[in-house]
Amino acid sequence: MVERTPVLDAFAHLILIAGAALVCIPIYFVFVTGTLTQQQVLQVPMPWVPGDQFMANVATAWQKADFGRLFLNSLVVSAGIVVGKIALSLLAAFAVTYFRFPFRMTAFWLIFVSLMLPIEVRIVPTYEAAANAALPWNAIVDALDLQGLARTITGRELTLTLDWSLVNTYSGLILPLIASATATFLFRQFFLTVPDELSDAARVDGARPMQFFWLILLPLSRSNIVAMAIILFLWSWNQYLWPLLVTTEKSMSTAVIGLRHLMPSADAAPSWHVLMSATLLTLAPPVVVVVVAQRWFIKGLIDSGK
Amino acid sequence: MQASTDASAWAGGAGRLRPTGPPRALPASSAESEQRGLKRSTFENRALAYLLLAPQMIVLLFFFFIPSFRALIQAFQLSDPFGGSTQWVGLDNLAALWRSAPYWAAVRATIVFTLALSVATLGVALLLAFAAHHVLRGQTLYKTFILVPYAVAPAIAGIVWAFLFNPAVGPIAHLLHSAGIAWDPNRFPGHAMTLVVLASAWKQVSYNFLFLLAGLLAVPRSILEAAAVDGAGPIRRFVSISLSMLTPTLFFLVVINFVYGFFDTFAVIDATTRGGPAGATTTMVYKVYQDGFVSLDLGSSAAQSIVLMVLALALTFVQFRFLEARVRYAV
Amino acid sequence: MLNLFRSCFFAALALLLIQPAQAATTIELWHAMSGALNERVDELADKFNKSQSEYVLKPVLKGGYDDVVNSMIAAYRARQHPPIVQVNERGFLTMLSSGAILPATELMEKAGHKINWSDFIAPVATYFTKDGVMMAMPFNSSTPILFYNADHFKAAGFDKPASTWPELEAQLYAISKKGVSKCAMVFPADWEWSFLENYSAIEDVPYATKRNGFDGVGAEYVFNKGRLVGHMERVKRFLDDGILELAGQGINPGQLFIAGRCSTVINSTAAHAAVEAGAKFNWNATFLPTEKDSPAKNSTIGGAALWTLKGHKDEVYKGVAAFYNFLGNVETQVWWHKATGYVPVTQAAYEAAKAQGYYKDKPTREIAVVQLARGTPSDNSKGFRLGNSAQANIAIKEEIQAGLLGQKPMQKAMDDAVGRGNEVLRQFEKVNAGKY
C-alpha cells in the first residue's frame, strides 16, 4: 500500500485471476450450454465454444416459465426477507450484547439453535403453521376448552378458533424464512468489536439506548449490513423447497421454482439448453444486486476506515 | 468487521484509538468471563431488552420452535406420514441408529466432509481476500466474479459440477485423465468425496471471501501505515496485524462453515453424487433428508435430526468456549 | 427500509383478499411431470376443459415425485390438499395405508360412469387393483426396452442384438474388442427397475415371498437366491471389463446413448422422445434380453397413477370422475401415448393406435406394449406390492452397488441388500399394523 511491490502485485493479480477463472468455469459452461441447440446439447463431448442460440433459448425459457411474474415475486419475497431478517437481527443482537438481563445467553443460544435444524426436516409442521398461523391459539382454546367457558359465561355459541392461512401469500413466503440466526450472530460479533468508549460517552451524554442504536451503532454497522444483505438476498433468491410447498398458484411462484420446473424429466427430451439459459436469466438479478451493492460496500468502508 | 473509528465527532474527544501500544488483552478474571459476549458498559433498561428481542423470538416461536418440536417428537414415535396412526416407541428409533452400520458410515463421512470443506473454503477465501485487498485495480471486477457462485441455485451448481467432472463426458475429467489420473467418482469413494467437497466449497468461498474482505478493509490504515513505516512488508503486516484483527470474523466464519457443512449441503450432494457411490458421500444431513423426505421414515429422520442437532450444538459450544477465548474483540 | 417492509406486508394482505370469481368447479391436480412433459399435461387439461364447461382441471407442477408426496402430506394434514395427486407406482401401499384415498372404481360408480376395468392392460391393472377394486387411475405407465445403435452393431458384424443375455454378452464384448465403441452398454439410473425387478418378472423368479407381497403381510425379499445373483455378477463382469459404463450424475444415461457414445441402453420406452429428437445415427429398439431357458413372461410397469384424496365436496368428485372418464377415452389415450411415449393403458387404445397405422411408422413404440402383454402373467410378473419400497430401494441399491464396485463379494452384497430391505418391510408392517 505505501511501498511498491511489483512482484507481490503480479502474484496477487495472478491469484485473483486464477481464483476468478476457477470460480467461473462452471458458469462459463452454463453459458455455453445456454447457447446451443437441442441437437448440440446432446453431443458428447460438449463444445467449449458458445453457439448462436443464446437469444432464442432465452426467449423460449422466458416464455415457457413465464418469468416476468416469477421475477417480481422473487424480488418481493427476497426483499421482504432481507429487510425482515436484518431488522429483527439487529435488534436482537443489540439486546444480547448491550443489555444485562436474566436468560441473556439462553436467548442467544435459543436463536442460535435455529441454524441447526434444516427446514426439510420440519417442513410438514412448518407448512401446518403457515396454513393456519393461529394454530397455537387454537390449541390453547381446545386445551383449556375456552369455547365451553365462553358458552357458560355468555350463554351463546362462540367460535374462538381462528383460521389465518398464509398459503399462496407473500407473508407465507416471507415469514417462515425470516427466523434465522446467521445475521444475529454476525451483528453480535460486530457489536462486540465496537469500542466501549462510544457507549460510555453516549450514556454520559444522556442518550437513550435507541438513540445510541440509531445514531451510532447503525452507521458503524453499515458495511456489515450491506454484506449481510447481499448474502441474504442471494440466499432467499435461491430458496426452493419452502416456496414450492407454500404456493400452488402459478402467479405466486418464484423464479427458482420456475427454473426447476424446466429441469428435464428422465422421460422426455433433455432440454438442457433451455434450462441453462433459464439459469442465466435467474442468475441475472442477484448478480445485478451484487454489482450495485458493492458501491455502498466500498462507500461504507471508506467512511469507517478513517 | 472491526469497528474502528474516530469517535470524536460523537463524544467530544473521548475514545480516540491509540494506533500503537499493546492491544488490550481480554480479562481473565472469572467475573468477566461469565459475561461472555457482553459489552463492558451496558444499558440498564431490561424491559427494552426484552422488547428488542421479542420480534425475533416470536417469529422463531411460531415458525421454528413449535414446528421443530412437532417434528422432533416423532423421534419417539412410529408414525404413518399422513398422521393416521402414531405409536410411542420411546428410544427405539435412537437405538436402531446406534446399531446401524450405514449410520456410522454417515457420521464418518460427515466428519471428513466438514473438515475438508472448512479448511478448503477458509484457506482459499483468505488467499483471495488478501490478494483482492492488496491490488488497487480491478477490485470490483474480481469481487463480482468471486461472488457469483453464491448466486447460483445449489441444485444447478451440483449438476454443473457433476457434469464437469463426469468421467465419460466432463471436460475437467478429460484433463485429469490425460494427466494420468484415473478419475472416476462413480467408482471410487475418495473421488466422489473430493467432488462433493469441491462443489460445496465453491459456493461457500464467496461467502467467506466477502466477510474476510470486509474485515480486512476495516483494519485501520493508520496502524498498517505505522507498521509499514517500521519496516514490515505487506505479508508481514497481513500476518501480524490484519489476521489478529480478523479474529472475530475468522471465528464467525469457522462456526458458519461448520454449520454449512453440517446442515446446508445436502442439495449440492444430492445433485452431484446422490450420496453415492454405495453411500460414500452420504453425510448425516443427507441421510436425514433421504430418510425423512424420500423414504418418509419420519421417526428415524427425526431421531437423526436430534442427534445431529445435539452434536452440532455441542461442537459449537466447544468452539465458543475454546476458540472465542482467543478472539480479540477490542484493539 | 421499514416502509418497504410495510408495503410488502400490505400488498400481501391485499393479495390475500383478492379472490377470483369462479363459475365452474376447479379441480386441482398435483403432478411431477417437469420439462416438456409439463406442457403435455397442460395440453391434456386444456383438452378436458374445452370438452365440457362444468369443471376446470388445473394442473399444478409440484416438483419431483418426492416433492409431490411431501407437499400432499403437508397439505393433507392442514386440510388444504387437492382432490387429485400423481404418485409413482411404488407408492401404492403408502397411499393405500394412508386412509386418505377414494378408490377409483367406487368414485366412477358413484358418478355413474361406466368404465371397462378389464380392458386395462394386465400389468397395469394388477399393479393398482386390490381385492378386485382399482384403487388409482393409471396415468403414465412405461416399461423398459433395449435401445441399440444399429450402426455400431452393423460395424461389428451383427444384424441386431441377440435375444438372450449370453449371446448379447458375446456381441457386446465383440463390439468393445473391435473398437467399434468405447462403451457397449450404459447402466441406467433406475437400474433396480430394469435389472432387478423386471428381470425377475420376465424370468419368472420371485423377487419377494408371498407372491411379491400381493398376499399381504409378512413378505420377505428373496432376490439374493437364484438367477438374480448370477445376473448381477454378469453386470459386475461387464463393469470390470469396460463393457458397461456408469453414467453417474451430471448426464442422463440415455444421453450417452443418444450422443452415439454407448451402443446400447436399457431404458424406459418413454425415452423415445429424447432418442427421436437427438440421435443422429440409425437407432432401433427391441425386447429386453432373456436367459436361454427363459419362460419370457411379461415385464412390469413403472410410472405413476392418479390418486383421489378424500375431504372434498361431492361436486368436486363428480368432476374428478369426469376427468378420469375423459382420460380413459380411446382418443385421449392414443393422443397421450403418441405425445409422450408412455404406453396406452387400455387394450382398446392400443388397438386403435394399431389400426391407425401408428406402429407401421414407429414400430419401436409397439415393443413396450407387446412386452407388457406377453403371455399370461405369473405370480412373479404381476408387479410388486412391498411396503416403503422407495426406502428399501435406497438401501438395496447401496448394497448392490458396493458389490458391483468390488467392495464386497456379490453374494454378500445381495444378502446385505435383502437384510436391509426386510428391515424396511418389518417397520412398514409395524407402523401400519392391521390396515391392509
C323-350 pLDDT per residue, tens = 999 999 999 999 999 998 899 999 999 9
Lowest mean pLDDT among A153-167, A228-242, B119-133: A153-167
| Total domains in the fold of chain C | 2
Q: Residues C215, C260: one domain?
A: yes
Tell me the mean pLDDT in the region A26-54: 82
CA C156 – CA C136 distance, rounded (Å) = 47
Tell me the mean pLDDT in the region C288-294: 93
Interface check for B19 against chain C (CB to CB < 8 A): the answer is no
Q: Residues C101, C189: one domain?
A: no
Q: What is the 3-state secondary structure (H, E, C) of B162-188?
A: HHHCCCCCCHHHHHHHHCCCCCCCCCC
Chain B, window 146-165: residues with a beta carbon less than 8 angstroms from a chain A beta carbon? 146-157, 160-161, 163-164
Please give, rounded to a whole number of angstroms, the shortest distance from the CA of C342 to a CA of chain A: 9
Phi and psi at residue C55, to the nearest 5°: -125, 150
Q: How many residues does chain C have?
A: 436
The residue among B80, B86, B92, B301 with the most chain C CBs within 10 A of its CB, best to mutate, is: B80
Tell me the mean pLDDT in the region B237-260: 87
Counting Cα atoms < 13 Å in the Cβ hemisphere of B194 gives 12
Is residue C319 domain-resident?
A: yes
CA B102 – CA C225 distance, rounded (Å) = 23
Contacts of C76 (CB under 8 A, 6+ apart): B82, B83, C98, C100, C309, C311
Q: Residues C281, C198: one domain?
A: yes
Is residue C52 domain-resident?
A: yes
The pLDDT of residue C286: 95
Pairing of strands C25-31, C55-61: parallel
Pairing of strands C244-246, C101-102: unpaired
Q: Residues C279, C330: one domain?
A: no
Tell me the mean pLDDT in the region A256-272: 78
Q: Is the pLDDT of residue B16 over 60?
A: no
CA A260 – CA A251 distance, rounded (Å) = 16
What is the value of ipTM here, to two decimals?
0.86
Q: Residues C132, C198: one domain?
A: no
Q: Residues C258, C131: one domain?
A: no
Percent of chain B predicted with pLDDT > 90: 36
Partner residues linked to C307 by β-bridges: C85
The pLDDT of residue C7: 56
Write out the three cell numbers for A192: 462486540
Nearest chain A residue to C63 by CA distance is A261
Tell me the mean pLDDT in the region C226-239: 94
Q: Is the pLDDT of residue A159 over 50?
A: yes
Is residue C268 domain-resident?
A: yes
The residue among C232, C249, C307, C435 with the most chain B CBs within 10 A of its CB, best to mutate, is: C249
The pLDDT of residue C21: 42
Q: Residues C135, C153: one domain?
A: no
Is residue C378 domain-resident?
A: no
Q: Is the pLDDT of residue A301 over 50?
A: no
Contacts of B294 (CB under 8 A, 6+ apart): C66, C390, C391, C394
Q: Is the pLDDT of residue B79 over 80?
A: yes
The pLDDT of residue C356: 94
Is residue C285 domain-resident?
A: yes
Is residue C333 domain-resident?
A: yes
3-state SS class at C30: strand
Is residue C259 domain-resident?
A: yes
The candidate with the shortest Cα–Cα distance to C273, out of A264, B241, A15, B231, is: A264
Q: Residues C101, C177: one domain?
A: no
Angle subtended by helix axes C410-431 and C227-240, to nearest 10 = 130
Percent of chain A predicted with pLDDT > 90: 11
Ranges of H-type helices in B135-246: 139-151, 154-164, 171-178, 189-217, 221-229, 234-237, 243-245
pLDDT (tens digit per residue) in C1-11: 555 556 555 55
Lowest mean pLDDT among A49-53, A182-186, A295-299, C6-10: C6-10
Dihedral angle over CA of C233, C234, C239, C243, nearest 10: 170
Judging contacts by C-beta atoms under 8 Å, the chain A residues touching residue C277 are 38, 42, 269
Q: Do A76 and C259 touch (CB under 8 A)?
A: no
Question: If pLDDT is split at 50, 70 and 90, which confidence band does C173 have?
Answer: very high
Interface check for B318 against chain A (CB to CB < 8 A): the answer is no
∠ CA C419-C421-C425, nearest 5°, is: 115
Q: Residues C160, C40: one domain?
A: no
User: How many Cβ contacts (< 8 angstroms) between chains A and C?
Assistant: 143
Angle subtended by helix axes C410-431 and C389-404, to nearest 10 = 170
The residue among B79, B177, B186, B293 with the most chain C CBs within 10 A of its CB, best to mutate, is: B186
Q: Residues C45, C107: one domain?
A: yes
The pLDDT of residue C4: 58
Q: Which of A156-170, A282-296, B130-144, B306-320 has the highest mean pLDDT?
A: B306-320
Q: Do B297 and C388 touch (CB under 8 A)?
A: yes
Q: CB C313: neighbour CB atoms within 10 A?
A: 10
Lowest mean pLDDT among A263-277, B194-208, C230-244, C256-270: A263-277
The candidate with the shortest Cα–Cα distance to C187, out of C144, C137, C133, is: C144
The candidate with the shortest Cα–Cα distance to A81, out of B63, B147, B155, is: B63
Write out the three cell numbers for C421: 430391505
User: What is the residue range of C318's domain?
Assistant: 25-142+302-372
pLDDT (tens digit per residue) in A94-139: 999 998 888 888 999 999 888 888 787 888 888 888 888 888 888 8
The pLDDT of residue B38: 83
Q: Residues C157, C36: one domain?
A: no
* CATH code at position C205: 3.40.190.10
Interface check for B113 against chain C (CB to CB < 8 A): the answer is no
Is residue C2 domain-resident?
A: no
Q: Do A265 and C16 touch (CB under 8 A)?
A: no
Q: Is the pLDDT of residue A303 over 80?
A: no
Q: Residues C80, C46: one domain?
A: yes
Decide which of B230 and C191 is more confident.
C191
Mean pLDDT of chain A: 84
CA C142 – CA C368 distance, rounded (Å) = 7
pLDDT (tens digit per residue) in B115-150: 999 999 999 999 999 888 888 777 778 888 888 888
Please give, rounded to a whole number of angstroms, the shortest distance from the CA of A263 to a CA of chain B: 9
CA B164 – CA A29 distance, rounded (Å) = 8
- Return the percent helix, strand and coil in chain C, to nearest 5: 50, 15, 35
Mean pLDDT of chain C: 90
